[in-house]
Amino acid sequence: PKGKLAEAIKSQFGSFDKFKEEFNAAGVSLFGSGWVWLAKDASGKLSIEKDSNAGNPLTKGLTPILGFDVWEHSYYLDYQNRRADHLKELWKIIDWDVVGSRY
């Protein structure tokens, strides 16, 4: 990421690598199916949210700006039960310009 989003990530998580580590840990630790999100509140404060099933940050008054699907259908054919490997690979295909425009 670049610009304001990159600055916010660094400010709130310490570094982009620490953010990714925390985001991946949230996705791996989610029991069962669901989503892990980078969301922002009305003031622009970022948070990592994990929601089971069809839950999402909107129900908490937050705006989702990045979401990773951790339902088994999103990774099982390629990664079987290795959800952490799936999450690591997703970072390679993010369009940060789009994510940044949501911030």
Q: Domains plus CATH for the chain?
A: 3-102 (3.55.40.20)
Residues 2 and 10 sit within 8 Å (Cβ to Cβ)? no
Integer distance in angstroms from the first to the last C-alpha of the chain?
A: 11
Give the model confidence (pLDDT) of 74-91 as tens digits.
Answer: 776 576 777 788 889 899
Considering the entire predicted model, what is its pTM?
0.88
CA 67 to the chain's CA centroid: 5
CA 36 to the chain's CA centroid: 5
Weakly modelled stretches of the chain, pLDDT under 70: 71, 73, 76-77, 79
Residues 39 and 76 sit within 8 Å (Cβ to Cβ)? no
Tokens of 97: 């310009």
